[in-house]
Homo-oligomer: A and B are copies of this chain.
Amino acid sequence: MIKIDIANALMASYPCSRATALQCVDLLTERMKQALLDGHRIEIRGFGVFEPRPRKRGMGRNIKTGTTVEIPKGKSIRFKPGKDLRDIDME
């Protein structure tokens, strides 16, 4: 599923042009992205929680060099699936 599919889902419930639907999706993702970059946690009950976390790890590995490289950045976004998404049964 890509952005267009989400837009189509929106169009199905709220009749509007595809361009409008895409802009809507883009707007929401952009807002969420900005909020995360701003360090805010996004919590959507029943879906999940996006949370910016400081990364404590400080090392990685480079294939070609084979040496341990330091990880300069110290943040990452963690997504914690909500109740509905955690209740997945393996098929």
Contact = CB atoms under 8 A, between A and B. Distances in A.
Interface of A: 1-3, 5-6, 9-10, 13-14, 20, 23-25, 27-29, 31-33, 35-37, 39-48, 50, 52, 54-55, 73-79, 81, 84-91
Contact of A9 (B14, B28, B40, B47): B28
Given A6-B31, A28-B9, A81-B77, A42 B88 contact: no
| Secondary structure call for the A interface | mixed
Contacts of A28: 6, 9-10, 25, 28
Contact of A77 (B5, B48, B76): B48
Copies in the complex: 2
Nearest to A82: B33
